[in-house]
Structure 1
Amino acid sequence: MKNLLKKIIENKDFTTLFQPIFSLSNGIVVGYEALTRGPENTIFYNPEKLFESAKTENLLWEMELYTRLSAIEKFYSFKSDKILFLNVDPDIIRDKKFTKGTTKHLFENIINTSNIVFEITEKTAIKDYVEFKEIIQNYKTQGYKIAIDDVGSGHSGLTTISEVRPNYIKIDMFLIRDIDKNNFKKSIVKALVELANDLDLKLIAEGIETLDELKTVIELGIPLAQGFLLGRPSKELLEMNLTLKDFIKETKSSLEMRKFKSACEINIGKLARRDNAVQFSTLSIDIEKIFLNNFRLHGIAVLNGEKVIGLITKRNFFTQLGTRFGRELYLEKPIEKIMDIEPLVVDYFTPISEVIKRIANREEHKLYDYVIVERDEKYFGVVPIINLLEKSMELELNIAKYSNPLTGLPGNLIIEEKIRESINNKIPFSLIYFDLNNFKSFNDYYGFERGDRVIKYIANILERHMDFYKDSFLGHVGGDDFIAIVKSYEIEKLCYNIIEEFDFNIKRFYNEEDIKQGYITSIDRDGTKKHFPIISISISSVNNRNFLNYEKVIERISEIKKLCKELCKKFKKSYFLMEEEVLAKEKNEKTLANNF
């Protein structure tokens, strides 16, 4: 055995496989993990057998060193500039032969040390952290990076992270497996994401095997991942296939787009979990096996072909089997005999808020059943009620966080996001800016309490009028400034109706004597006593016919707003100014100048 192992080491007769590690921002490979096997078609192809035998024959140091050297040489032959992850056991990394610089001497002529990550695999517990820390620091100063493997299982805990201070943390596949179905795992991983962000560490999710797991880790904010779904270990350096790349980009894009959306705007399909369904002819005994093997699964959609015809819940299924003669009556019968034939089935594009309303109107014993999602009248997936409620609360809290506390309307971050989204979608829209004239003097004269009432009043007017326009958006820039996005170029009637209602009711916020004289006397910004007319409103608008980006639109609306306020001041009344009027005037002036 010893001679055979020596021969394998001397000839570097290893099989090296490379598993890609991908960025979850764009699907690009950032590095490869080297996985070493013994010669193919031998018992040593199993890595555990290879290294255990080497340990028994006191050849572990040589085996560890030359498998890594072989991996680096093979990796170098691909001329890749990516990072190479090499698994290292703590017992070996402490070996004096390993720490004398042999590693660096062998590696430095082949590959840049900054492209190597020592992946600490804790097969055995680290007994002396002080000594181990010094050794790790030694490698860091030589340019190597450090990763802690299998975090979340056994030895790889917070103590190791705290003492080693790695560059990468690899989340064990146990925590990733079925994470889309397990809220407890989600909470643990969320905490790790927050920890990694605070400490400037990079997280890698290991063992991704399903699209739902991939989608969930992206949503949780994990930046890197590997797993059989993304790329299996191979003798070649694999890239991600285009379908998966598109899925990652779509998920990231969807995540960004719904960052500031409410439950009224997000489709239920975005939350759907792609669980396997069963056909109505499936026997109950097979359903029992599915539930017993998936203890976190609480429901299964039942189909006839691709059409949803029912739902079987774990609760109802085992209740039926638990009745007298239940197993004899149902176990060898098709599941259609005991399935719910009236599950809640919704279309992919149904808003979350509407689904929640429909759930609230269901019978009490069905309140927590899965929602089944169809797309194009075919089964698509399921949404557990807890996921639906969590997402709805998250969306509303996020909106509230970035909303104006006085009016409850979305604030500047959300406004910018909505304008950019409208521009990117290339949907015809008008951007309307509302600004009150003489509001500051009113606020100084009557006090902030009455000033706040005026702000709430204008917000109420704008909200009511915007309700007549489908998919319109209203935001509160701050103070007495508001902005709206209307998916139409025909906005004259809207704006003149707002002016009419505003002008008719604004006087009720003034004292009777001030209304009679038509002004209030207050101090202007220069400290001079001055007469200020009754508050009026200036409304400016631009559309996206000619502008390609956010900066141009904002620049143009600012110009129109300034001109509109000057007209309000000149005519001492509310005014609505469209971009078209300004452009027409500029064109006429240019024509006259040319003729002259």
Structure 2
Amino acid sequence: MIRLKEEHLRELFNRTIKNEDIQTVFQPIISLKDGELLGYEALSRGPSNTPLQNPEKLFSYAMEYDQLWELEFLCRAKALESAHMLHSQGKLFLNVNPNIMSDPKFRQGFTREYLSRYKFEANKIVFEITEKEAVSKLFHFKKTVDHYKEQLYQIAIDDVGSGYSGLNIITDIHPHFMKLDMKLIRQIDSDAIKQSLVKSLCEFADLSQISIIAEGIETKEELCKLIDLGVEYGQGYFIQKPKSVLLPIRDDLVEIIVVENKCKRYISLNRKTDTSVGNISTPLPTLGVTTLVDEVKSTMDQDSTLPGCCIVDQNRLVGVITRNQLHYKISGTYGYSLYNKRKIHEIMDTNFLQVDRNTPIHMVAKLAMMRDSNRLYDFITITKDGQYYGIVTVKELLEKSMEIEINVAKHMNPLTELPGNVLIEQQLQLCIDSTDRYGILYLDLDNFKPYNDVYGFENGDQVLMHLAHLLEEIVSPHDFIGHIGGDDFIIVASSEKCVPYSEQIIEQFDATITRFYTQDDVEVGWIGSKNRHGKDELFPLMTISIAVIFKSHFQSTYELAKEGSKVKKQCKQMAGSNYLISKE
């Protein structure tokens, strides 16, 4: 009976390959910044209502029957054909077994002629390599990947976070994308360890110029947390299930993404002074790949201030040549005569630092300082939408970085390192000018002065720093926290978050404030000190009052602050920790 079943499965599999009975379904990958489509992952299914419909079983039988190559080739061909027929937009992600990429037959499937049949350019194809597959002969595999990169194909490492080999592969082949395993994404909104890991991977990806894609997003909460952590792209059932047709991204989903990205925590200074590297870039003369070395030398001789030249092919940046690199090549007894009639692409540097114009200046500075010592002072190239935009020198980069740091430091509270009154004023004005629904929380500690009098200013500072850290843990990085001064703080957030924030702050403050008192004072529940008139009085332990103001009719920050002061005063008259919402 078992043998008959095995023979039936083998016959079914062979018939599937022979009849090309493979269906391609597509799952969109979208930006978690604005909901824009990045592309689709092509997924293959076997014949409907058979054991081979499940892709895991389909590929498992292919390996068992030694027909993995035949199945993968068929799946890729069907994916390209279906994507062409459906007029798919963006990139096409194709799953590839890394151990067959160097096979000559694989290369034949991705020639210009083959792709032109389906109207695809190489830069629209992303080879998705799973880290679960053992990569034999890593050195040769890296050379193969480099070959495809040179042909403008892109590389994604799949299932990052599901095993132990992925980071090794990432550092060896430097892919364009890292796809986080769905097990890492599941319930990430309630798992601090997963959040910490993903945040670290995002920082690593930023420094390495790799884009992160989160797979398997199934809930709104997971999506919002991934946006909060800075993940760039996402896919999963909450976004859209795999379909055999291409459907538009839901409007309500785009709205969620846009709303979550609306407010940025420290946007005040950055919106007044844009810190993107594109703002300090300057255009540099570009040369074509066929320009002769002698012409390049003449260009640089005519302008001694030029640090070098950028080499473009149809406005796509393909290389650079610095002044020092050119002089090194043509110097010596025979250097000039050897190279002067050669084309510049023969000696240009293709291993240069290239960043998008929207990359923050501080991030570009980090990338520049991570280069080899012999490249440390080479200029950095800037692109916009993949096209050449300009350059920035290391000197300009470091000067601007220092200027930004000084400006930020001037406006931060020295104790808590939160934005001070200048940035708070700017943030409130942005809030008033915006058409979005914002809320403002004014926070004030009750009985803080008596505590300072009894326990001293150093302990009082510890309480303020504790509250600042508590706020940073509760409030999303996309929302704004400011320190007005003394024991007064402010939060600006989307209106639906204000009440949950207030409840969490009160709960955690009340649960932790007793650690700053002696055990005796905690047990009696009060401390003795002098009141404002110099008379002895008993004061309860510190509590917190929060005035909640929803932006509505205010015409100025003065009106807003005045309303906040009035509501906060009313709230402080209530016993214990409380929040009070302004009556609009």
- What is the deviation of 1:260? 3.6
Per-residue CA distance 1:131-177 (angstroms, 9 max, x = gap)? xxxxxxxxxxxxxxxxxxxxxxxxxxxxxxxxxxxxxxxxxxxxxxx
Residue of 577, 581, 590 corresponding to 2:580: 577
Quote how far apart the aligned CAs of 1:395 are: 1.0
- Counterpart CA distance in 1 for 2:267 and 2:503 is 33
Identity of aligned residues (%): 34
Mapped to 1, the partners of 2:274 and 2:471 lie a distance apart of: 20
1:341 aligned partner: 350
> Matched residue of 1:491: which SS?
helix
Aligned to 1:305: 314
- The corresponding residue for 1:286 is 295
1:257-406 equivalent positions in 2, closer than 5 A: 260-261=269-270, 266-323=275-332, 325-406=334-415
Aligned pair in 2 of structure 1 residues 300, 407: CA closer, same or farther (>3 Å)?
same
Deviations 1:458-493 (A, max 9, x none): 111112223x342x2222111111112224532322
User: Superposed, which structure 2 residues align to 1:33-182 within 5 Å?
Assistant: none
The 5-angstrom pairing of residues 176-575 of structure 1 reads 260-261=269-270, 266-323=275-332, 325-466=334-475, 468-470=476-478, 472-487=479-494, 489-566=496-573, 570-571=574-575, 573-575=576-578
Change (3 A) 1:476 1:422: same
Hey, what's the Cα distance between the residues in 2 that align with 1:285 and 1:449?
69
Q: Distance in 2 between matches of 1:263 and 1:538?
A: 31
| TM-score after normalising by structure 1 | 0.50
**Alpha carbons of structure 1 residues 418 and 465: separation in structure 2 relative to 1, 3 Å:** same
Q: Which residue of 2 aligns with 1:150?
A: none
- Aligned partners of 1:275 and 1:488: how far apart in 2? 46
The one-letter amino acid of 2:440's match is L
Change (3 A) 1:391 1:487: farther
* CA 1:546–1:442: 2 relative to 1, 3 Å: same
CA drift of 1:307 comes to 1.4
Partners of 1:259 and 1:315 lie apart in 2 by 41
Quick one: which amino acid aligns to residue 438 of structure 1?
Answer: N
Letter in 1 for 2:485: G
Q: Which amino acid in structure 2 is aligned with residue 279 of structure 1?
A: G
Equivalent residues of 1:404, 1:411 under 8 A apart: yes
Q: State the one-letter code of the partner of 2:462.
A: R
**Residue ranges of structure 2 left out of the alignment (5+ in a row):** 1-265
CA distance in 2: counterparts of 1:485 and 1:352, whole angstroms: 26
CA distance in 1, matches of 2:421, 2:386: 39
Asked if 2 retains the 8 angstrom alpha-carbon contact of 1:469 and 1:486, the reply is no
Q: Deviations over 1:574-594 (max 9, x none)?
A: 112233xx33xxxxxxxxxxx
Deviation of 1:517 after TM superposition, in Å, equals 0.4
**CA positional deviation for 1:347:** 1.1
Number of equivalent positions: 319
Asked whether the 8 Å contact 1:433–1:539 carries over to 2, the reply is yes
Q: Conserved in 2, the CA contact under 8 Å of 1:299 and 1:369?
A: no
Q: Quick check: which has more Rg, 1 or 2? A: 1
**SS across alignment from 2:416:** coil
Q: Which runs of 5+ in 1 are unaligned?
A: 1-256, 584-596
- Kept in 1, the 8 Å contact 2:440–2:498? The answer is no
What is the CA–CA distance in structure 2 between the aligned matches of 1:464 and 1:323, rounded to whole Å?
Answer: 62
Q: Tell me, in whole angstroms, the C-alpha distance in 1 between the residues paired with 2:313 and 2:438.
A: 44
Per the TM alignment, residue 265 of structure 1 is displaced from its structure 2 partner at its CA by 6.7
Q: Which letter maps to 2:428?
A: I
Partner SS, residue 404 of structure 2: helix
Q: How many Å separate the matches in 2 of 1:265 and 1:473? A: 17
Secondary structure of 1:557's partner? Answer: helix
* 1:405 CA drift (Å): 1.9
For 1:258 and 1:329, the matched residues in 2 are separated by 54
Q: Conserved in 1, the CA contact under 8 Å of 2:268 and 2:427?
A: no
What is the alpha-carbon distance in structure 2 between the residues aligned to residue 409 and residue 262 of structure 1? 17
How much does 1:394 deviate?
0.9
Taking structure 1 as reference, are residues 556 and 395 closer, same or farther at Cα in structure 2, changes over 3 Å only?
same
Whole-angstrom distance in 2 between the partners of 1:259 and 1:485: 11
Q: Is the 8 A contact 2:441 2:498 kept in 1?
A: no
Partner amino acid, structure 1, of 2:566? E
In structure 2, the CA distance between the partners of 1:423 and 1:528, relative to structure 1 (3 Å rule), is same
Question: Quick one: distance in 2 between partners of 1:407 and 1:287?
Answer: 54
| 1-structure distance, mates of 2:365, 2:437 | 31
* Residues 517 and 268 (structure 1), Cα distance of their counterparts in 2 relative to 1, 3 Å cut: same
Q: Using the alignment, how far apart are the partners of 1:372 and 1:563 within structure 2?
A: 57
* Cα distance in 1 between the residues matched to 2:288 and 2:567: 62
Q: Deviations over 1:83-131 (max 9, x none)?
A: xxxxxxxxxxxxxxxxxxxxxxxxxxxxxxxxxxxxxxxxxxxxxxxxx
Q: Secondary structure at the match of 1:540?
A: strand
Note the C-alpha offset of 1:515.
0.4
Cα 1:430–1:461 shift into 2, 3 Å: same
Q: The residue matched to 2:497 in structure 1 has which SS?
A: coil
The Cα shift of 1:373 comes to 1.3
Question: What is the TM-score with the length of structure 2 in the denominator?
Answer: 0.51
Residue 375 of structure 1 and its aligned partner are, at CA, apart by: 1.4
- Taking the aligned partners of 2:503 and 2:467, their CA distance within structure 1 comes to 14
Partners of 1:352 and 1:326 in 2: CA distance: 38
Q: Mark the CA change 1:551 to 1:268 in structure 2 (over 3 Å): closer, same or farther.
A: same
RMSD: 2.4
Task: Give the aligned residue type for 1:357.
Answer: K
